[in-house]
Chains A and B, each alone.
Chain A
Amino acid sequence: MARHPAGKHRYHHHSEFTYPTSLSQRLSSIFLLPLVAVLFFGGILMILSHTSVIAVNSVDFGSLSSALGATFLRLLLAYGLSIIFAIPLVLLVNISPRVETLLLPLFDIIESVPILAFFPVVILFFIAAGFSEGAAVFIIFISMLWNIVFSLVGGLKTVPTDIKAAARVFGVRGPAYLFKVLLPSVFPYLVTGSLLAWAQGWNMIIVAEVLHTYLPGGTERQDLFGIGSILVHASTSENTALFIAAISLIIVVIALMNFFIWQKLLKYSERFRFE
């Protein structure tokens, strides 16, 4: 460093820079956080899901809120898992054009297979394992995953070749390249992919929570406690007030999420976009 001209600048930078130096620290920032969230919210979900959906017969704000909370946690868990799985899958695609040629059609086929066709098998598998909650989370996770994967793959293609070349010339490789160049580059695509994934997730909640329709001789007691199963329960028992209350609650939450999370993230992600 001694070869630099004598520093006689008068500039003072006030920001604090924290650059994690070890790989584990870097990985923790992106993988550990969703993992901790998955475990934490999974625990809360276990407590909430002990309530039976058929116990909710009137417009009771407490029960509806709990049900909405349970559903939201399922979506959150599935989303966390989607992020954890999507990033390695996308990095795998990014290894080389040959790997991409091989994997993308494979992903396309897997995505195109209607997951609901396998849902009864998935339910039986998780019930046999004593973990029916897992069936719902798994089905939402699969429906979210591909939105994020394909958005990120599309995002990687927008990284300018000059940016990749600059990283190489300046010796930014390995984890530093991943965390300082690639992931920030695809951040806008992660946001749009996440938005689509959540929309897909909300679509899936009714199917994912009403398990009994897929089980031979199943009853509503086997349904998971959540706002999706309450919607179906209200509909089949012709409880219009409960149905309207449940659907209104979903609309309010989706609108709030859109306003307070997605719109802000979309705006924030603009700064990561290449011109």
Chain B
Amino acid sequence: MIKFDKVTKRYDDAGPDGPLVLRNVSFEIADGECVSLVGPSGCGKTTILRIIAGLEQPTTGIVTKPDRVAMVFQSGALLPWLSVYDNIAFGLRAKAAREPAAKRPSESRIREIVGTYAEMTGISEFLDRYPRDLSGGQRQRIGIARALAVDPDVLLLDEPFSALDAKTAHDLSVDLVKIWQETRKTVVLVSHSIEQAVAITNRVFLIKDGTVAHEYPISIPRPRHEQGEAFMNEVMNIRRPFFSA
């Protein structure tokens, strides 16, 4: 479970009188849930994600979260000198190095895990290639496979579709839902697109001015058709407060 209890955040370099980027944020996400944080730029949604990832500490408040958290980055954050295979194995090898020698997975086990998630994300045929040889969508799939390979309890996705064209983003979002349904990991997606949030997740948190402004359970049955009436109604329902002052 992920639980934020009256969390505030002020960046150290802003000084003690600097603005709060998060104000009194409280929410709970159950294990295996697929949720999203949407909101305008600078609203604090990525800061929430970074706190869950352990990249930032809250200024005040209590955060409860599992230890095993993995993240997919907006830019992909792939290492250009490593092949796709080695990029997927990057976190796995680091995790293996921290384990006692007796428990450390063998190279063949690592190969097996990398192969499993490469297949799940649809990049099996590119394992010997390098990130620069691949498209933006394929790179994001490598990032997802790298995150899944460490077998996390929580998968965080920071605007994974923002640099992709509409078709690629749609295909990836469809596959992301399949991956969630197959793995049942807790998924927290940050997006500025209400449509993507409604298409992928089961609960949408609208973040405004550093706090959770609204929370929307999405109960449309899957597969969700973006042209369907129920889908459009949900999107409009969120859009109104999203754009209001």
Contacts and interface: CB of A to CB of B under 8 A. Distances in A.
Nearest to B76: A162
Interface of A: 1, 3-13, 15, 17, 19, 21, 160, 162-163, 165-166, 168-172, 176, 180-181, 184, 187, 271-275
A1 B120 CA distance: 17
Contacts of A184: 79, 81
A108 to B, nearest CB: 24
A162 B73 contact: yes
Interface in B129-161: 130, 132, 146, 150-151
Contact of B77 (A21, A162, A271): A162
Interface in B84-121: 85-86, 90-91, 93-95, 97-98, 105, 107, 109, 111-116, 118-120
B150 A170 contact: yes
Given A17-B86, A170-B150, 13 more contacts: A4-B113, A5-B183, A6-B116, A7-B115, A9-B119, A11-B127, A165-B50, A166-B90, A169-B71, A170-B91, A176-B97, A180-B90, A275-B132
Contact of B74 (A1, A9, A162, A169): A162
Given A184-B81, A271-B81, A274-B80, A169 B119 contact: no
Contacts of B54: 168-169
29 contacts: A1-B151, A4-B116, A7-B115, A8-B119, A9-B119, A11-B119, A13-B111, A15-B85, A17-B86, A17-B107, A160-B75, A163-B79, A165-B71, A165-B73, A166-B71, A168-B54, A170-B70, A170-B94, A170-B95, A171-B94, A172-B90, A172-B91, A176-B94, A176-B97, A180-B90, A271-B130, A271-B132, A273-B80, A275-B132
Query: Nearest 7 A-B pairs (CB), nearest first?
Result: A9-B115, A170-B91, A7-B112, A162-B77, A166-B77, A11-B115, A172-B94
A96 B168 CA distance: 39
B75 A1 contact: no
Contacts of A181: 79
B80 A271 contact: yes
Interface centre among B95, B115, B130, B182 (most CB of A within 10 A): B115
B189 interface: no
B55 A168 contact: yes
Interface centre among A13, A160, A274 (most CB of B within 10 A): A13
Contact of A7 (B55, B70, B76, B113): B113
Contact of A9 (B50, B76, B81, B124): B124
